[in-house]
Amino acid sequence: MIDFAREVARVRYPVLAASAVAWTVLAAGLSGLHLHADILCTDNGVATMPGSLSLLLAMNPPAAVAAAWALMLVAMMSPLLIPAIHHVRFSSFARRRARSIALFLAGYGAVWMTCGALLTGIKLAALALAPQSYIPAAVSALIAFVWQASPFKQRCLNRCHDNRPIAAFGLEADLDALRFGLRHGIWCAGACSALMLFAMLLPEGHLAAMAAVAILIFCERVEDPEPPRWKMRGLRRVSLIVAARTRIRLRMLLCRVPVSS
């Protein structure tokens, strides 16, 4: 008989530990996450596009930016992958589990690294056009707000819950794990990219904004799939859970209060 709680725990705890380590490194400022743009402004506060881009690229080597982005992905996204990794692990024979999970993560990571390159390019362009300005972040916040309420966002979230069957043997099993990672990454990026871009475009407070976005997207992922429609998404189910637990705690406390005669 399979102990499902123990099987899930074997995935949950290592993944959460990896996320905690990544957040610790980011909080310690050891990742180089913030793109350097200190010398972009001229005496009158204006920077030209060609010169700014060349300086930005020189000050932010692609390898360092990619490494920082990968670390941020581990911090933010790994908790969201616990159900998918458990699905891959449970669908694979013991001797294939490590390889299947690695292929799944490779597909997922390839999508997000590509998305990260696009988002970083947008941020570099924003820094070149409007260094230390909140205008790009405000524009992206408006886009993220509309996307957050759109039925297209719900379609992405629904697909994030779609665990496809994985073959048990041979090359087909490897390809299924890789394809599952690619599909999961595409729909996850579709659901989360707008929020992440807003956090990236803020002139200050990137880490705090990314942490807030991570909490929001985790709360979204807890929601059950539902028909796509226009509505604001985010903290509804988590708020209901917190409210229910608070009511239970209050009732327990009230029951313990002695009644005076």
Q: How many domains, in total, are found in the chain?
A: 1
Q: Is there a contact between 113 and 69 (Cβ–Cβ < 8 Å)?
A: yes
Q: Is residue 32 part of a domain?
A: yes
Range of the domain at 83: 4-256
Query: Mean pLDDT throughout 148-166?
Result: 94
The single-letter DSSP state of residue 95 is G
Q: Is residue 90 part of a domain?
A: yes
Q: Is residue 71 part of a domain?
A: yes
- Given a cut of 50, whether residue 43 has pLDDT beyond it is no
What percentage of the chain has pLDDT greater than the value 90?
Answer: 58
Q: What is the largest CA-CA distance in the chain?
A: 82
Measure CA 50 to chain center: 32
- Given a cut of 60, whether residue 124 has pLDDT beyond it is yes
What local confidence, expressed as pLDDT, does residue 30 receive?
A: 59
Q: Is residue 137 part of a domain?
A: yes
Q: Is there a contact between 203 and 133 (Cβ–Cβ < 8 Å)?
A: yes
Q: Is residue 261 part of a domain?
A: no
pLDDT tens profile 77-96 = 999 999 999 999 999 999 99
3-state secondary structure the chain: CCCHHHHHHHHHHHHHHHHHHHHHHHHCCCCCCCCCCCCCCCCCCCCCHHHHHHHHHHHCCHHHHHHHHHHHHHHHHHHHHHHHHHHHHHHCCHHHHHHHHHHHHHHHHHHHHHHHHHHHHHHHHHHHHCCCCCHHHHHHHHHHHHHHHCHHHHHHHHHHCCCCCCCCCHHHHHHHHHHHHHHHHHHHHHHHHHHHHHHHHCCCCHHHHHHHHHHHHHHHHHCCCCCCCCCCCCCHHHHHHHHHHHHHHHHHHHHHCCCCC
Q: Is residue 161 part of a domain?
A: yes
pLDDT tens profile 242-256 = 667 777 878 877 777
Q: What is the DSSP string of 153-172?
A: HHHHHHHHT------SSHHH
Which has the closest alpha carbon to 209: 217, 222, 218, 200? 200
Count Cβ atoms below 10 Å from residue 16 Cβ, excluding itself: 13
Q: Is residue 121 part of a domain?
A: yes
Contacts (Cβ under 8 Å, ≥6 apart) of 200: 119, 120, 123, 206, 210
What local confidence, expressed as pLDDT, does residue 242 receive?
A: 66
- Better-scored residue on pLDDT, 54 or 207: 207
